[in-house]
Amino acid sequence: MSAHAWFILASYAIATLAIGGAALAIVLDYRALKRALDKLPASPDEEARK
């Protein structure tokens, strides 16, 4: 084990948490938006595009 292993591990852990957290927030936001959209009827212009 390197004398600086703590610095290396902390770097990768923080990168995983920050970017993984951003990814998780995006996925949860998507699910919440889909649920909210399902509760409301489509607008006439959306119907026309189907």
Contact set with other proteins (CB under 8 A): 2-5, 7-8, 10-12, 14-15, 18-19, 21-23, 25-27, 29-30, 33-34, 36-37, 40-43, 46, 49
Please say whether the beta carbons of 2 and 8 come within 8 A: yes
Helix residue spans in 1-50 (DSSP H): 5-38, 44-49
- Residue 38 beta carbon to other proteins: minimum distance, rounded to whole angstroms: 10
- Residue 49 beta carbon to other proteins: minimum distance, rounded to whole angstroms: 5
- Residue 25 beta carbon to other proteins: minimum distance, rounded to whole angstroms: 8
Cβ neighbors of 2 (< 8 A, separation 6 or more) are 8
